[in-house]
Chain A
Amino acid sequence: MFDIHPDETFIQKLSDSLDHPEELSSWESFKLAYQASSFQTIPRFDGLLALEHLPHVDFLDHQVDAANKVVHEMNGRAILADEVGLGKTLEAGLILKEYMIRGVAKKVLILTPASLVNQWVQELNEKFYIQAASPRKKQASWKDWEVTVTSIDMAKRESHREEILSIPYDMVIIDEAHKLKNHQTKNYQFVQSLQKTYCLLLTATPIQNKLSDLFNLVSILKPGYLGNLTDFKKKYRYHKDDTKGVEHIHSLVGQLMIRNRRKDTGLNESKRHVVNERLAFTEKESEWYNQLTALKSDHNSFAWLTLEKEICSSREACFMSLKEMAKKMDESKAQKYISLMEQLEQLPHHTKAKRMVELIQQSDEKFIVFTEYRATQFYLQWYLQQHGISSVPFSGKFNKSKRDWMKQLFKNKAQVMVATEAGGEGINLQFCHQMINYDLPWNPMRLEQRIGRIHRFGQEKDIRVYNFAIEGTIEDHIMNMLYEKIEMFKKAVGDLDDILEKIPGGSFDQQLQSILKESDSRGEIDIKLNNLVSYVEYTVNEGRELS
């Protein structure tokens, strides 16, 4: 039924030592060693011993449940697919710790985006007492390091690749694993060829566009589990309208995927106050805006939308575009634009900027302000400085050390961070509780990612989010059409993620992009957006009837 592997070395060592009494231990030392080993003995198959080892971390129920399930039911190979901010990293750390305590994970490789390497090393050390190494440019001793955190890009470099592939890892953890959705990429093939006993894939979006994304993730964990890709696609296509087929796939995937949703956990919407602020242009701004509108017919709809969104953000953002446009025009026409630019320079400070300063001055709390435009970012920093408010810039394009530095400055010195993009993954700003979305991205999910920077697990305070929009402009439109409606559906179903991810013909984001690019008029955009929103509504209602 089972083999027994005896300890082959002990008795020889004992025989040898008996001839060297100085190597022998006293009765007290012998008893202490025995005691030490009994402290480290794993008394039972089930349960999470890691919890006793980590009394300083308050794990939430769903995190403990997830770890329990992965270790004891899924046998250590799983997709952790909690929504953003529910603590996937904590779950993964807890699972890793459990396997380390149980003595079956010694050699561990963690692959994360480069920007998250430091954060992982730090969290493993502080929260889990796990010492992890991460390679610097030339120094990498993959064979000696027990726990290594690095990026896929670093690992798959020619100088490291062969060595890493030759190491039998007990556990491999891959953060932001949705990047592995395509099985033809080098990254995917690299991960597939790693030697790994246990394996965790972390992603908030297991299905980004297509169900085959999920198929490919599953194949890393359990090749053949969903059949082969061709059959799988066929089956799914046939069963797309047949809920049984889909449910079957879901139940299969459920055996190796954990997906906690915000609504199922302690963290609910009540702790998040969203305020949509509709601001009116001042008279001068309106005048100028009307002049701009008069020139609408000069542009295709996309270019026009860009200008309109820019003037809703700042004079500076719009100025740059106008300048570029004027360069390409013949002189008589350009003249109109140049005079428009001159007037633009005379405009007073932007309505939104004033409102922003007002909000910040009413409070002594920290604020993070998001804008879509670099020019606006510069302007806002300057404007804040004029009011004696300290701020730091942030951009997803900053390199790792600059990001860390800005975060540190924001935490310790500045009151405001003015950011152009969420920087996508990872940056954690829980010490901040107020957010201003100075201008709005098209895709409400992007907004969700921004909010996720401050409204994530461990956030104990309520947070407040201000969304700015200028009345009667495209922004008002985005707010009405996309945000408020979608927010309404969200209240109805709790979670729209997978609906927005699974729309046939591309994700919500892709659909938005193509609507904006391919429409000829504002009217067309409206109609198409309406259709898209109705489609989401339809899917939501369908989902409700089924459940």
Chain B
Amino acid sequence: MTSPHFDFVKDFFNTNGCTITEESPSHMNIQLTNAMDEEIMNRPFYWHYMKKMNRQGEPMQLTFTENTDEPGIYLHAGTPKLHTIYETAMKKGKLTRLYEAVDEPQANGALTPWLVVNALLHYRGKQTKDEPVSVGLQLLHGTFVPRMMERISNYAFNMTVSDYTFPMTPIIQLKSAYKRIEGYVENHTSSQNHNWARDSHQQLEQEEQLLQSFYESGDMSEDQFNKEHEQLFKRYRPRIEMEVVNGGLFYLSQQTSQEMLTS
């Protein structure tokens, strides 16, 4: 399996307790669990009926392929099932509190609290794009670390505290920490190239003028003018909508915390 979609799908089902019953370089067969079937197969009536009849129900099997010749679901960027899986994955992985897994604690078993926020910045205006940001904020001193997910992705975390370690209480409250992250994002975006916003402004102004003069010539009702005007704003007003993908409290060992700041 070479495609990133394939690896992702495989991880997804493994993580969610489904079994891969068959696998070849170009296809894999997955036995869903009941819960996963309910989640992604979109057959609510079946499951409703099964539950009502007090029956077990039979979860389906899915076959994914990497080419169009084989029977099964052909995986590519647009595969509808893949998008259902994205939605499910994002729903299941939204909020967390994790403790670094420590086998042999150092002299000091204290774990430092961090707020980690992964967000998409949706650039909106004449044209559109997203910029992903991942920020870590150390909740004792307020230090920022950019590209946080990248840095922590190879460490192991658990949902419970490892033996001989203990989490320290944050000094910075979550709400104010999040405010700081918003401020960080603001700083970050204003340091970027603004051509996109300027273009959008220009276009907006130009079309506003056109509309205004047409309205003044008396060929348009006030109601229609207002509607059109609002639409121009929707289409062209440059703005960035921040959408948090996921985030949570991460407790890092002293050593790891240090590495975050230096790497």
Contact = CB atoms under 8 A, between A and B. Distances in A.
B201 A1 contact: yes
A31 B12 CA distance: 10
B174 A15 contact: yes
Contact of B97 (A5, A24, A103): A24
Given A25-B94, A44-B129, A222 B210 contact: yes
A32 B245 contact: no
Given A14-B95, A14-B247, A28 B15 contact: yes
Nearest to A37: B245
A111 to B, nearest CB: 18
B85 interface: yes
Contacts of A26: 15, 96, 159
A192 B78 contact: no
B124 interface: yes
A197 B235 contact: yes
A6 B194 contact: no
Contacts of B128: 42, 45, 102-104
Interface in A87-123: 102-104
Contacts of A198: 235
Given A7-B242, A45-B128, A39 B156 contact: no
B80 A129 contact: yes
Nearest to A170: B234
B51 interface: no
B152 to A, nearest CB: 9
Interface string A437-476: 0000000000000000000000000000000000000000
B228 A223 contact: yes
Contacts of B74: 56
Interface in B152-200: 153, 156-159, 174-175, 178, 182, 185-186, 189, 194, 196-198, 200
Contacts of A227: 214, 217
B93 A33 contact: yes
Contact of A5 (B12, B178, B241): B241
A184 interface: no
A10 B128 CA distance: 23
Contact of A6 (B11, B129, B242): B242
Interface string A43-56: 11110011011111
Interface stretch (B26-34, B53-61, B219-227, B255-263): B219-227
Interface stretch (B104-112, B115-123, B139-147): B115-123
B95 A23 contact: yes
Given A42-B130, A198-B235, A55 B90 contact: no
Contacts of A481: none
Given A37-B120, A52-B77, A103-B128, A30 B96 contact: yes
A2 B231 contact: no
A229 interface: yes
Contacts of A42: 128-130
B132 interface: yes
A2 B238 contact: yes
Contacts of A6: 182, 185, 242
B231 A52 contact: no
Contact of B247 (A10, A31, A103, A193): A10
B242 A224 contact: no
A11 B96 contact: no
Nearest to A101: B78
Contacts of B46: none
A169 B217 CA distance: 28
Contacts of B117: 10
Nearest to B228: A223
B239 A2 contact: yes
Nearest to A125: B80
A49 B4 CA distance: 17
A71 to B, nearest CB: 8
Nearest to A41: B130
Contact of B132 (A15, A38, A56, A193): A38
A427 B228 CA distance: 36
A54 B76 CA distance: 9
B76 A52 contact: yes
Nearest to B123: A45
Contacts of B247: 10, 14
A319 to B, nearest CB: 56
Nearest to B128: A102
B239 A31 contact: no
Contacts of B240: 2-5
Contact of A2 (B87, B197, B214, B242): B197
Contacts of B12: 32
A439 to B, nearest CB: 45
B5 interface: yes
Nearest to B158: A27
Contacts of A53: 76-78
B246 interface: yes
A350 interface: no
Contact of B86 (A40, A192, A229): A40
Contacts of A102: 128-129
B178 to A, nearest CB: 4
Contacts of A27: 96, 98, 156-159
B49 interface: no
Contacts of B86: 36-37, 39-40
Given A5-B241, A25-B93, A228-B217, A75 B126 contact: yes
A37 B121 CA distance: 12
Given A24-B248, A52-B78, A37 B124 contact: no
B249 interface: yes
Nearest to B211: A224
Contacts of B231: 195-197
The residue in B95, B125, B158 that gathers the most chain A C-beta atoms within 10 A of its C-beta is: B95
Contacts of B215: 224
A4 B189 CA distance: 9
Nearest to A4: B240
Task: State the 6 A-B residue pairs at the shortest beta-carbon distance, nearest first.
Answer: A224-B214, A53-B78, A33-B93, A29-B93, A10-B244, A2-B238
Interface of B: 4-5, 8, 11-12, 15, 68, 74, 76-80, 85-87, 89-98, 117-120, 122-130, 132, 134, 149, 153, 156-159, 174-175, 178, 182, 185-186, 189, 194, 196-198, 200-201, 203, 207, 210-211, 213-215, 217, 219-220, 224, 227-228, 231, 234-249
5 contacts: A18-B97, A36-B89, A38-B132, A42-B128, A52-B78
Given A43-B129, A129-B80, A225-B210, 4 more contacts: A10-B117, A33-B246, A36-B8, A37-B245
